[in-house]
């Protein structure tokens, strides 16, 4: 890990991870949902098309908090609620308190043993996770349509850098050692985010900008939630597998479990959360892959992400290297959509040396004479990528918005 502590890497992984939840876009293609609830953590379900399901508990409640003027007081009170095991602050409206008590409780299927293994996995793989969350999930998010448009026209869209810091919190919390423990913060973050999403469903339909641009009335359906979910763990695992990183089955299952739980705590119904990687991959093929599309807003966001590197290290994190890395991870089509140029030298280095580099790092291959410099450079690249997003993470409180993006 060189100059990085595990905490730094996990922090960075977190920051990167939630960038996957940011994006700008045009409407996704409407596709019929055929994925069966028999493959879900619930194992059964009503089988409703999740494009038309939102959050029936949180949505009317938060709409009412907004309409009756309770949000500033609630936000002030919730600033003091930061740890999973902490009692809710006194003075919350009774209906909100009831909802939050229920929403913060873990489902019966939560498995402490798997969560402990997930911690080991995050410890061991924090560096790769950080890089993948940022440059696979983060860049994919720029070509996910509906979520992106929602973000663009909501309050957070007015200040993207601030929003990156804010959303970084969830990714940091899920990678923390105590994520779901009483002294951790993941449950708090998920419940607050669930409230934020409910607020967005109430506010965004009133935005004239959004009305003009979107092809839907109420944003952030359960289907949209799963699309974004797949841009995170499913995408990350796909790349780790293709890089041939050795991951024992129990660690892979545990990593999935930590994200299944995140989905549940964010308000996704159990009948839509895949029970296994096979189910996750089949659902992603159905809901994520077909919606990816270029948009002017996504191109702008990708520009911002590619430009951030120069703040840390204009040499190793130059736009050209990050551009080449994005092309390497996501392929020519997405790189083309994002108007990323070809950089023959760097494209070649990554195509030729990345896999052996990972094999050397994993101890399954010896360094060939003459390649040390390339491997050193690639190692620097992943460390700097992690550092880059680390710099975006700040102490932040997730608050219920009251407005849309005025611009």
Around 320, how many Cα atoms within 13 Å sit in the side-chain half-sphere? 11
Rounded distance between C-alpha atoms, residue 27 and residue 51, angstroms:
13
Would you call 44 exposed, middle or buried from its count of C-beta atoms within 10 A (0-12, 13-18, 19+)? exposed
Q: Is 222 in the site for ligand HEM (CB under 6 A)?
A: no
Rounded distance between C-alpha atoms, residue 178 and residue 185, angstroms:
8
Q: In the range 99-158, which residues lie near ligand HEM by CB under 6 A?
A: 146-147, 150-151, 154-156
Q: How many residues bind ligand HEM (CB under 6 A)?
A: 26
Q: Which of 228, 234, 235, 260 binds ligand HEM (CB under 6 A)?
A: 228
**Which range in 6-14, 192-200, 272-280, 314-322 contacts ligand HEM by CB under 6 A?**
192-200
Rounded distance between C-alpha atoms, residue 130 and residue 20, angstroms:
12
Considering the complex, state which of residue 142 and residue 154 has its C-beta at the smaller distance from ligand HEM. Answer: 154
Q: Is 21 in the site for ligand HEM (CB under 6 A)?
A: yes
The DSSP 8-state label assigned to residue 270 in this structure reads: G
Q: Which of 196, 334, 358, 381 binds ligand HEM (CB under 6 A)?
A: 196
Considering the complex, state which of residue 288 and residue 378 has its C-beta at the smaller distance from ligand HEM. Answer: 288
Considering the complex, state which of residue 18 and residue 117 has its C-beta at the smaller distance from ligand HEM. Answer: 18
Q: Is 59 in the site for ligand HEM (CB under 6 A)?
A: no
End-to-end CA distance of the chain, in Å? 43
Would you call 72 exposed, middle or buried from its count of C-beta atoms within 10 A (0-12, 13-18, 19+)? exposed
Q: Is 207 in the site for ligand HEM (CB under 6 A)?
A: no
Considering the complex, state which of residue 161 and residue 244 has its C-beta at the smaller distance from ligand HEM. Answer: 161
Rounded distance between C-alpha atoms, residue 27 and residue 141, angstroms:
13
Helix residue spans in 154-273 (DSSP H): 160-174, 186-203, 208-213, 222-229, 235-242, 249-265
Q: Least distance in Å: CB of 82 to ligand HEM?
A: 14
Q: Least distance in Å: CB of 152 to ligand HEM?
A: 8
Q: Please give the residue ranges that form the binding site for ligand HEM (CB under 6 A).
A: 18, 21, 146-147, 150-151, 154-156, 163, 166-167, 170, 193, 196-197, 200, 219-220, 224-225, 228-229, 266, 398, 401
């Amino acid at each position: 890990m060189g100059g990085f502590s595990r905490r730094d890497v996990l922090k960075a992984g977190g920051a990167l991870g939630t960038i996957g939840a940011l994006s700008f876009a045009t409407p996704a293609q409407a596709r019929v949902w055929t994925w069966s609830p028999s493959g879900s953590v619930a194992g059964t379900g009503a089988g409703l098309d999740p494009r038309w399901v939102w959050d029936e508990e949180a949505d009317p409640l938060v709409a009412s908090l907004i309409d009756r003027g309770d949000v500033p007081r609630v936000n002030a009170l919730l600033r003091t609620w930061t740890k999973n095991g902490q009692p809710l602050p006194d003075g919350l409206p009774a209906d909100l308190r009831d909802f939050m008590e229920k929403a913060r409780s873990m489902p019966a299927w939560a498995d402490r043993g798997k969560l402990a293994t997930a911690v080991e996995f995050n410890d061991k793989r924090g560096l790769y996770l950080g890089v993948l969350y940022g440059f696979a999930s983060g860049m994919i998010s720029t070509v996910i349509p509906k979520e992106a448009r929602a973000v663009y026209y909501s309050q957070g869209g007015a200040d993207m850098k601030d929003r990156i810091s804010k959303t970084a919190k969830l990714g940091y919390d899920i990678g923390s050692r105590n994520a779901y423990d009483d002294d951790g913060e993941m449950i708090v973050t998920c419940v607050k985010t669930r409230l934020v999403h409910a607020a967005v469903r109430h506010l965004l339909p009133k935005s004239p900008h959004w009305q003009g641009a979107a092809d839907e009335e109420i944003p952030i359906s359960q289907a949209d939630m799963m699309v974004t979910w797949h841009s995170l763990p499913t995408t990350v695992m796909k790349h780790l597998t293709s890089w041939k990183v050795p991951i024992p089955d129990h660690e892979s299952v545990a990593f999935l479990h930590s994200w299944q739980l995140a989905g549940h705590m964010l308000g996704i119904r159990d009948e839509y959360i895949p029970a296994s990687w096979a189910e996750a991959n089949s659902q992603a093929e159905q809901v994520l892959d077909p919606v990816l599309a270029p948009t002017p807003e996504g191109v702008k966001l990708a520009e911002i992400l590619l430009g951030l590197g120069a703040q840390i290290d204009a040499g190793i994190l130059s736009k050209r290297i990050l551009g080449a890395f994005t092309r390497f991870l996501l392929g020519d089509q997405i790189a083309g959509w994002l108007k990323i140029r070809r950089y023959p030298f760097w494209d070649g280095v990554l195509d030729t040396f990345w896999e052996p580099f990972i094999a050397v790092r994993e101890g399954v291959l010896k360094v060939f004479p003459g390649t040390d410099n390339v491997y050193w450079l690639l190692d620097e690249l992943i460390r700097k990528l992690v550092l880059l997003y680390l710099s975006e993470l700040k102490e932040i409180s997730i608050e219920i918005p009251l407005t849309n993006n005025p611009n």
